[in-house]
């Protein structure tokens, strides 16, 4: 798009189906590289990606050429298919429906990057559900408790 200039930074957060701890250290780096490739192939820029065995955080610079929902649909579908084709988990892998998306100013990026890099440390004292609700509340996002990512 000629003469279109943007500075859009988004953090997305989404969970493994049923909040199962299926993302293992043995393949998580490969998964993060694969997801980075999907995002970059859609002309967006990954700034940080990390997570825990049951969820993932991605911070990226987003181009306005694609909707966020279309990008997240592609990331989740393609990465699920990739995990299943590689046989990294017993049974069928899938991501839980939905995601959280939060926007940041450029000046906030170093703090968000550190936060995502330090997921293991944060989750020593904070559950994913607590973390997710904290994000929703910090951004004043209205939500219904019954739709928050929960173990089934």
CATH label of the domain that carries residue 97: 3.30.70.1290
Higher pLDDT, 45 or 143: 45
pLDDT in tens, 81-119: 999 999 999 999 999 999 999 999 999 999 999 999 999
Residues 22 and 84: beta-carbon distance below 8 Å: no
Interval 114-134 mean pLDDT: 93
Instruction: Tell me if 50 sits within 8 A of 123, measured CB to CB.
Output: no
- 11: burial class by Cβ within 10 Å (0-12, 13-18, 19+)? buried
Structural domain harbouring 50: 9-123
- Domain-located, residue 103: yes
Q: What is the CA radius of gyration of the chain?
A: 15
Chain segment 3-61, per-residue pLDDT in tens: 888 999 999 999 999 889 999 999 999 999 999 999 999 999 999 999 999 999 999 99
Angle at Cα 151 formed by Cα 123 and Cα 139, nearest 5°?
Answer: 55
Q: Is residue 75 part of a domain?
A: yes
Query: Residues of 69-96 as b/e, b for ≥16 C-beta within 10 angstroms?
Result: eebbeebbeebbebbeeeebbeeebbbb
Do the domain assignments include residue 1? Answer: no
pTM summary value: 0.93
H-state helical runs in 10-127? 25-41, 68-86, 109-117, 119-122
Give the pLDDT score at 150: 58
Q: Does residue 68 fall inside a structural domain?
A: yes
Q: Report how many domains make up the chain.
A: 1
Q: What is the residue whose two structure tokens read 């929902």?
A: 69
Residue 102 lies in a domain: yes
């Amino acid at each position: 798009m000629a003469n279109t200039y943007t500075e859009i930074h988004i953090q997305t957060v989404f969970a493994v189906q049923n909040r199962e701890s299926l993302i293992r250290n043995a393949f998580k780096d490969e998964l993060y590289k694969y997801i980075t490739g999907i995002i970059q192939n859609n002309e967006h820029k990954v700034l940080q990606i990390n997570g825990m065995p049951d969820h993932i955080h991605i911070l990226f610079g987003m181009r306005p050429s694609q909707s966020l929902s279309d990008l997240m649909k592609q990331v989740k579908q393609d990465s699920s298919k990739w995990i299943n084709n590689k046989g990294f988990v017993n049974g069928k892998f899938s991501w839980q429906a939905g995601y959280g998306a939060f926007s940041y100013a450029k000046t906030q990026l170093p703090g968000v990057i550190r936060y995502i890099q330090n997921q293991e440390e944060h989750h020593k004292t904070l559950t994913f559900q607590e973390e997710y609700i904290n994000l929703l509340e910090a951004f004043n996002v209205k939500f219904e408790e019954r739709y928050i990512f929960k173990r089934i």
